[in-house]
Amino acid sequence: MKAIQGLRVQIANELERMKQLLDERRLMLQEGIAHGAVGSNISQKMADLLREQSSLSNGLSNISDEVSIRTKASRRERVFFNIERAKRELKEERERCLREFREEIKEGVVRELSERFLSDIEELRREVQSKDEIIEKLLKNQSNRDLKDCS
């Protein structure tokens, strides 16, 4: 980029120098310093200077176009990089959310099964206790009958 700017400065300086030379020649012609017709050598030199000026202008335009193309390519590259980074981040976020969701589901299932298990155990305890009481009564009744029968 610095090389291009250096070239631009050189081209601008050269164009300025050519303009000054042409302006000086015009002034000389206007003031009548050159009494005779403009010599072919001077005409040729002026034509050469104009061609060189045109060539330098075209070169400057080409450099400007090149810089514009490179700038656009650089922007495009950054845009694609940002798009790819955003895709990657979204994919990672989606995977993280899925992991969290699975963990929440697992925890919920474990919690629900644990609660069911505890309530089933409590119900079985009550049933066992109830049956133990019935068995105890039956044994007591049996024992009382045996005592009555023995007496």
User: How far is 136 from 138, CA to CA, in rounded Å?
Assistant: 5
- In the chain, DSSP finds a helix count (H) and a strand count (E) of 2, 0
Structure tokens at 62: 């080409």
Confidence at residue 4, expressed as pLDDT on a 0 to 100 scale: 74
Give the pLDDT of residue 128.
96
Per-residue pLDDT tens over the stretch 11-46 = 878 878 888 887 887 777 766 655 555 566 777 777
pLDDT at 34: 52
Secondary structure E strands in the chain: none
Residues in the chain, pLDDT under 70:
1, 30-40, 151
Structure tokens at 93: 């976020």
Residues 52 and 19 sit within 8 Å (Cβ to Cβ): no
